[in-house]
Amino acid sequence: MDPQNIHRCFAALRAAIPEPKTELNYHSPFQLLVAVVLSAQSTDKAVNACTQTLFAAAPTPDAMAALGEDGIKIHIRRLGLFNAKARHVHALAQQLLALHDGEVPADRKALEALPGVGRKTA
């Protein structure tokens, strides 16, 4: 597709959906990041079912880091690849605390440096 057609397509999408929304449930940038990391190889419905209890137990990076990998697994066991996802979410929370004062960075490069976060997630 030539660049002009690409720009037209994006312009049409912006006009049709000026404020796109995700089907994932979240209440903060941290929770959105965790939900997107968990969504790999899983449906939004399954992720939402898991994050309902996960975010009740650990709504912030501090709480998620304290919950630990095994604690995270309890909440996300229904998701595919839950062992790796629990490891990534725990390490992600720890890195946010250590390197970003508990805040989700706005910079794509910094986001991609977080565990479990690739270009699509960033």
Question: Tens digit of pLDDT for each residue in 55-108?
Answer: 999 999 999 999 999 999 999 999 999 999 999 999 999 999 999 999 999 999
Coil, strand or helix: which one is 79? coil
Domains of the chain: 23-112 (1.10.340.30)
- Give the tokens for residue 23: 């089907």
d(CA 42, CA 84): 13
**15-38 residue pLDDT tens:** 998 887 788 999 999 999 999 999
105, 116 contact by CB (below 8 A): no
CB-count exposure of residue 1 (10 Å: 0-12, 13-18, 19+): exposed
Output the pLDDT for position 120: 82
Question: CA 76, CA 19: separation in Å to the nearest integer?
Answer: 29
Of all residues in the chain, the percent with pLDDT exceeding 70 is: 100
